[in-house]
Amino acid sequence: MQKLLKGLIGSLLLVGSVFATNGNATQDREAYNEYLWFKVFSEVYLIAKHYYVQEVSPKQLMINAAKGMVEKLDPYSEYFTPDELKEFQEDTYGEFGGIGIEISMDKGRPVVVAPIEGTPAYKAGLRAGDIIVEINGEDTYGMSISEVVKKIRGKPGTYVELTIYRPDEKRTFKVKVERAIIHVTPVKWTVIEPEHIGYVKIVQFQPDTAEKLKEALKELLKRHVKGIILDLRNNPGGLLSQAVAVADLFLPRDKVVVSIKGRVEERTYKTSHPALVPPNTKVVILVNRGTASASEIVSGALQDYHRAVLVGEKTFGKFRVQNIIPVEGGKYGAVKITTAFYYTPKGRMLDKKGLTPDIEVKMTQQEWKKLYESLKEERIKKHIGYNEPVLNRNLDKQLQVAIEVISGKYHPKGESTNSTSSTGVGR
């Protein structure tokens, strides 16, 4: 065994000496020498197999290697074991056990992209941007997304304790969240009176989202609403096909919704039907930091065509396309990997930057907390479930501005109420 280790170390030193003596040109060539790096990998594998303090199966070593290889690429790519793949598919199709949050990774720690409305995480007061420092007392630093998800999940009715760091408030606190089977109702709607404005909340882009939205819009148009507010705040995204289908309801036929460009795929998605919502119907989209991925596709497309005014705060900035590629037909899991970037119709790629709203209306954490508590009390008082929207325009500054935009009463700060301003809605 000692002889084997000496041989392995000698090979590694030889590789290192090549780097040290041949300069940048050689290093560039070696960076793409697959034979060399498979050899290095095999030697590292043998060291781990034979010298780690406890015996580890080849299966586990290779799973560890696959996870490390893919998950180091970006915060969204990962290797799934068969069990993890099943859990991921349950997430995507709208019914699963857990607490109801979308997470990404940043600097080695899980970050809340958005709590899904009506879920235990939402009810517990988690916010977009919250950093999960510990799960049941265990430090999350260095965990993969799959590991985080697995530790948060558990039997419905049991609790998971999360230690949260909230950057905006610069404070750390613990919160206990009850696990539950998550049933996601993708679309909720109502009519705001006395302005008679349609309000639609899209919670998540799952397989039936566009169809449910179509039903809601038809009902609102029957009622001759004066405009439509599409609320995409804290919507973590979902299926690309549904984002395109949602945009299709607002844009004319044959309009580019989104383009994807990468090394192995390049495609443009266009609308295929006449718009359901008439072009003279004003549309405002509410966005915030929890607006991500598919939500940004819809928001970006309608903003580019001046079909909607974006009101709120800068969005999350996830403009990446992930594909699921099965390993051995799925028998050994799959790889979820970023294969391309999204581009809006005008060619904007805002990954890690996010969409800037046309009208910026910031809300502090205290304002969000006050709004959330008021909505929670209203639901309890009037026995309203999470399948229906509850609004408070007095505390929701972003909603109030959206109402004013559609009503033609919005005036930027410092502008005279007698002056006119173009919002670009319904052009």
Active site residues: 293, 304, 318
Q: What residues pair up with 325 in beta bridges, in sequence order?
A: 335
Determine the 3-state secondary structure of 153 from DSSP. Answer: coil
**Dihedral pair phi/psi, residue 43, rounded to 5°:** -70, -40
Q: Rounded CA gap, 183 and 163, in Å?
A: 25
Provide CB contacts within 8 A for 195, sequence distance 6+.
226, 403, 406, 407
Query: Alpha-carbon torsion 129, 134, 139, 142, what sign?
Result: negative
Provide the edge-to-edge strand list for the sheet that holds 282-287: 187-192, 197-202, 227-231, 282-287, 309-312, 359-360
First to last CA, the chain: 76
CA 374 → CA 37, 66, 361, distances in Å? Answer: 58, 47, 20
Q: Rounded CA gap, 285 and 307, in Å?
A: 10
E strand residue ranges, 107-250: 109-115, 131-135, 138-139, 159-166, 171-178, 180-183, 187-192, 197-202, 227-231
**Dihedral pair phi/psi, residue 301, rounded to 5°:** -65, -50
Report residue 66 as tokens: 């696959």
Of the candidates 286, 209, 288, 275, which has an alpha carbon nearest to the alpha carbon of residue 241? Answer: 209
Report residue 118 as tokens: 């009506």
